[in-house]
Amino acid sequence: MYDLIGDIHGHAGPLERLLTKLGYEADREGVWRHPSRQVIFLGDFIDRGPAQMGVISIVRPMVDNGAALAVMGNHEFNAIMYATKNPDRSGEYLRVHSDDNWKQHEAFVKAVGGSRDSDVTEKQQELIDWFKTLPVYLDLEGLRVVHACWHRPSFDALAVYLDDGQRFRENAWTDLGTKGTAAYEAAEVLLKGWEIPLPLGITFRDKDDKERDQIRTRWWERAQRGYRQLAIVPDDAIDRIPDSPIGADSLPGYDGDKLLFLGHYWLSGDPEPLTDHIACLDYSIAGENAADTTPGKLCAYRFDGEDQLIKDKFVWVSG
């Protein structure tokens, strides 16, 4: 069976402690293994934390040697785009090298021996090539895994860009990095979540202090609710979100025929199911919640074939 682990963001120490707590040990080659279980990583291995390469040195051998599966997170996706030149704009990259984007990528780029003004380093390219081998989603017996949002129309839009292992084909990256294309919009949904625009003139600042006029939503909800009830925003921004209702047809929902595991959403508090069939395993290991001084957690769920989530099967360590 599987142990699913949420966003790690460069925190190798908590990852080792969580694997140990789950009964995994490093073998003679340094690969963390369990005698009867397998990890599924939910992406976002890099950025923010102090041990970028330490995390990769644990996760990559586990995946490459069959001790783990993994899906791509938006931070791996962004790293690929940041390192990939735009064929339509000489000297530019598919993810623009702006001040804001450099701030997000700085820790990773420096960890692979680069700088803001350097070309992509050999080590950086090696890891970019490995990130490209990560599938966008997994649809397994009894469970599904995607980083941010399970959305059939987006999978359909990406079908021509994915191989049989749900990995992006090499000819996909330009379309994926070009705003306005169907591929770009679909990847945004699956890897970054379902967003809706706020009423005109209303904005808030996210956890990285960027001004936003759209909110990530609790897209799995089916009942009609207001912007404030559906918004996934920092606690200190919630009062900026209006309480006016939005239509239930603004959200994709989820059919619940299999358990679904997500990362991405920077939750706080004690881990628990979002619904009977959906669990988010990102509990903010990379930092404290803006309005909550408790440390973040690195969180796992122990799946043993059940058809509804069980709160007691969440396992975590604090940062």
Domains of the chain: 2-179+255-318 (3.60.21.10), 195-251 (no CATH)
SS3 content of the chain, % helix, strand, coil (to 5): 30, 20, 50
pLDDT of residue 79: 98
Asked if pLDDT for residue 54 goes beyond 80, the answer is yes
Asked if pLDDT for residue 180 goes beyond 80, the answer is yes
- The model's confidence at residue 223, banded by pLDDT at 50, 70 and 90, is confident
CA distance 70 to 73: 9
Asked if pLDDT for residue 236 goes beyond 90, the answer is no
Q: How far is CA 274 from CA 217, 238, 254, 262, in A?
A: 13, 19, 12, 10
Quote the distance between the C-alpha of residue 30 and its chain's center: 26
Asked if pLDDT for residue 238 goes beyond 80, the answer is yes
Asked if pLDDT for residue 293 goes beyond 70, the answer is no
- Which pTM was predicted? 0.94
Q: How far is CA 293 from CA 115, 284, 290, in A?
A: 33, 12, 7
- The model's confidence at residue 225, banded by pLDDT at 50, 70 and 90, is confident
162-179 per-position pLDDT tens digit = 999 999 999 999 999 999
pLDDT of residue 290: 40
pLDDT of residue 17: 98
Mean pLDDT of 17-40: 98
Given phi > 0 = left and psi -120 to 50 = alpha, else beta, which region is 280? beta
Mean pLDDT of 4-10: 97
Q: What mean pLDDT is reported for the chain?
A: 93
CA distance 296 to 282: 9
Mean pLDDT of 93-118: 94
14 in Cβ contact with 294 (< 8 Å): no
Q: Which amino acid is at 54?
A: G
Asked if pLDDT for residue 5 goes beyond 90, the answer is yes
